[in-house]
Amino acid sequence: MEKKSSNKNLRKAGAAKNDEFYTQLPDIEKELGNYKNHLKDKVVFCNCDDPEESNFWNYFALNFEFLELRKLVATHFEKEKPSYKLEIVKDINKDGKINKLDTIKTPLKQNGDFRSPECIEILKEADVVVTNPPFSLFRQYVTQLIEYNKKFIIIGNQNAITYKEIFKLITENKIWLGKSIHSGDREFRVPAHYDVHSASHRIDDDGNQYVRVNGVRWFTNLDYKERHEDLILYRTYSGHENEYPKYDHYDAINVDKTKDIPIDYKGAIGVPITFLDKYSPDQFDILDGLNRYSILSGPTEETRGKFLAQVKGKPCYVRVVIKNKKI
């Protein structure tokens, strides 16, 4: 019941364009600690943050010297009026440290929307973008990052993997899942005016409101060594063919759990999208994605209205189609 409630909150927020989900500092620390070498001497841009509230800004401001950043920039969004940006570049107050006390606040002429020409100009100067973008605008947000050839570490919902645009980038090895949050269930602070009363909702002693959201993932194009570690396989297809039925409308065998991928099968294999938590591009090729129709090619006359991920008439959840490149 809790999972259903938290996903309902996410859909409700997206429909209402209530996208202010503030990531908690421990989650940020756990993931960003994997990319220190990627951040050295870089301009980091948090372009979907309220700097006064954002733990992304707090993390980078507190760790500016430790990470050896060159510059930190964050823009604030206002719906109907000009906003501002914050920057940290150098030791302005001459206290021998570079931190929040060296923040420069500059008015913007526009409202701070990441799509605004003013924010795009800032984006062009950035090396790495790190933030929690609006859930409802995730496609547009990633498209912009790819268009401007930016490195990024961002938070999104697991369902974004099934978006045609995002899945194509995954198959092209232009975006992948981050190292942490494999459990996918995380708590976000939300503004007090959000109506999110459910089993996944709580209010702390200071009156801050929190909601749990399922299927949360980090998405990035910064590499880390664990991505290149082979998944250990121990099941075999030979002699157990009846345990690996083929789909009714697609030439691939079905595997319900990543750990059950057979070590000796040369053809196409359909696996759950949670496989991407263990995916190594050195070990597997991603060929396609299956739900009601191919994520990549869209519906055809042959597949319209059918679940391609279907075994003996029974639909499966979304599948990623892979092939073991080491056989």
Contact 294, 249 (CB under 8 A): no
How far apart are the C-alpha atoms of 38 and 32, rounded to whole Å?
10
Contact 244, 253 (CB under 8 A): yes
Task: Spell out the per-residue pLDDT of the chain, length 327, in tens.
Answer: 334 444 444 444 443 345 566 677 888 898 999 999 999 999 999 998 777 778 899 999 999 999 999 999 999 999 889 999 999 999 999 999 999 999 999 999 999 999 999 999 999 999 999 998 987 899 999 999 999 999 999 998 888 998 999 999 999 999 999 987 554 566 665 555 555 555 466 676 666 666 666 678 899 999 999 999 999 999 999 999 999 999 998 999 999 999 999 999 999 999 999 899 999 999 999 999 888 777 777 777 777 777 788 999 899 888 999 999 998
- Give Cβ neighbours of residue 67 (< 8 Å, ≥ 6 apart): 36, 39, 40, 60
Displacement of CA 88 from its chain's centroid (Å): 26
Contact 87, 110 (CB under 8 A): no
E strand or H helix at 157, and its extent? strand 151-157
Tokens of 315: 């639909």
How far apart are the C-alpha atoms of 268 and 249, rounded to whole Å?
13
The structure tokens 């430790």 sit at 66
How far apart are the C-alpha atoms of 109 and 83, rounded to whole Å?
7
Tokens of 60: 């980078």
Contact 245, 312 (CB under 8 A): yes
CATH architecture of structural domain 2-226: 3-Layer(aba) Sandwich (3.40)
In the DSSP assignment, the letter for residue 88 is E
Displacement of CA 126 from its chain's centroid (Å): 19
**pTM score of the predicted model:** 0.85
Q: Is 17 left (phi over 0), alpha (psi -120 to 50) or beta?
A: left
Helices 138-147 and 164-171, interaxial angle, to 10°?
Answer: 40
How far apart are the C-alpha atoms of 312 and 248, rounded to whole Å?
6
Q: Where in the chain is the domain with CATH 3.40.50?
A: 2-226
